[in-house]
Amino acid sequence: MYSSILEPAIEIFKQLYPEIDVSYQIVSDDEFETRIRTEIPAGKGPDLVLMTDYTFPDIYKTMSTDIFIDLNPYFALDGEINLSDFVEPVMDGGVLNGKRYVAPLNYDVPIILTTESILSEVGMTVDEIKTCDGFCEGAERFHEKYPDSTLYFDYVAGVFPYMHEIRSLYKNFGFQFIDFSTGQVDVDEARFRQCMDLVKLYYDPDYDVTDMSKNDVDYYYAGGGLTKRLFMYDDMNAAGYGMYLNSKTFLNMDGEEPVLFLQSNQHDGVTAEICTGAVIPQASANKANAWNLLKILLSDGIQGGHDKGNWDLSYFWSGYPVRRSSLRSALLDGTNPPPAGEELDRFIALVQSPTEALLIPQIYRRYINEEMLPYVTGEKSWDDCWKSFLNTVELYKDE
């Protein structure tokens, strides 16, 4: 994806600034972390860094070291760009202690696809089930009726479904665990247990990852699999909108009416996950040029553009663009555009309605897996696992 984004952006940069030479490197996650820890503090390294949530073990801990510049003055003084042109709650996910260290480029939202008949089965309306409490209650009711079902859509990706459910629920609940503005561990135990209880409810120790008969992917493309689960969760990208319309067609043929909504977080808002972001290191010797390239990455031409050499896919292979005006273009695949109209308008309004955004630290997911799995499997009590998890997070905070 990095090449897909950078190559067209650099071509635009060269047209605007032909006297400036630009090069880029794509390195492994391990090499990236090593170079971030060694080169940048030493005043070396790149002028602009692109990263995903997988790049840093904890981006907020890195941000708190002031290793990156504050982008607020650049946005404030540059008349060619305005923060109001973007999905601002997502953009603010790159802010810590009032400083805008990270410029998000694209993001995911917790889109849930179910059907009217399923809602009827669990006896809930969409307004009820999209809340944090309602989502958990609806999942519990569905599990009583269909105890062999997985919570989310089953891709048989070679891991137990609970791994996907931990990732999805942790993200959708909006947990952050450490408040770096105060330097304190901050997590609501009741909410966290509610999340883990749902994972525990759907945990199946006998699940066979090699049994491809469980694979829902074929059904996904045909729409049929959507009636087999309470929720179909998917980090839809721009191409996913066309797949949703395809599924809707098949569901309608079966007399089903799909329902799309965003799952609420623990604060009754909606948490988006920042997929890709850009930072300018304090050590950069070419901050003005780095800012100009960053502006291009945030421009409509890149945010809403398509790669003609790659089946006309959106430049961003996952998630949605942060520039509001670019989403419609990103969704409308130039080779086979889905129909526009009220359906598209509703989809855009949904996608652009998050209330906050996080760069999900990968290390937290590891801690959840390590410390809470014994609770999910029934090997240890909640109190034992919770205390161990809190202690681990406290130790990490103080490293």
Among 283, 296, 235, 232, smallest CA distance to 109 is for 235
What CATH number should be reported for the domain whose range is 2-104+275-349? 3.40.190.10
Q: Does 111-269+361-397 match 2-104+275-349 at the fold level? A: yes
Among 20, 15, 93, smallest CA distance to 59 is for 93
Spatial neighbors of 250 by CB under 8 A, at least 6 apart, are 222, 223, 224
- Asked whether 309 and 98 are in contact (CB, 8 A), the reply is no
Residue 263: how many CA atoms within 13 Å on its side-chain side? Answer: 32
Residues of the chain with pLDDT under 70: 53, 57, 153-165, 208-240, 310-311, 333-340
Cα–chain center distance at 59: 14
Report the alpha-carbon distance of residue 273 to residue 108 in Å, rounded: 5
Dig out the tokens for 277 from the structure.
């972001």
Sign of the alpha-carbon dihedral angle for 241, 271, 365, 107: positive
Contacts 24+ apart (CB under 8 A), 173-179: 173/132, 173/265, 173/266, 173/271, 174/265, 174/266, 174/267, 174/269, 174/271, 174/356, 174/358, 175/266, 175/364, 176/60, 176/358, 177/364, 177/393, 178/60, 178/393, 178/396, 178/397
Strands 356-358 and 271-279: parallel
Report the alpha-carbon distance of residue 70 to residue 60 in Å, rounded: 14
Sign of the alpha-carbon dihedral angle for 345, 119, 156, 52: positive
pLDDT value of position 223: 42
Instruction: Quick: pLDDT tens for 246-286.
Output: 778 777 887 888 888 999 999 999 999 998 999 999 989 99
pLDDT value of position 212: 54
Residue for token digits 């066309």? 242
pLDDT value of position 214: 52
The DSSP H or E segment spanning 111 is: strand 111-115
- The domain ranges of the chain are 2-104+275-349, 111-269+361-397
Report the alpha-carbon distance of residue 40 to residue 89 in Å, rounded: 29
Report the alpha-carbon distance of residue 232 to residue 247 in Å, rounded: 11
pLDDT value of position 82: 95
The fourth-level CATH superfamily of domain 111-269+361-397 is Periplasmic binding protein-like II (3.40.190.10)
Dig out the tokens for 10 from the structure.
């650099």
Among 166, 168, 169, 188, smallest CA distance to 179 is for 188
| DSSP summary character for residue 399 | -
Report the alpha-carbon distance of residue 314 to residue 6 in Å, rounded: 13
Report the alpha-carbon distance of residue 183 to residue 60 in Å, rounded: 11
pLDDT value of position 287: 96
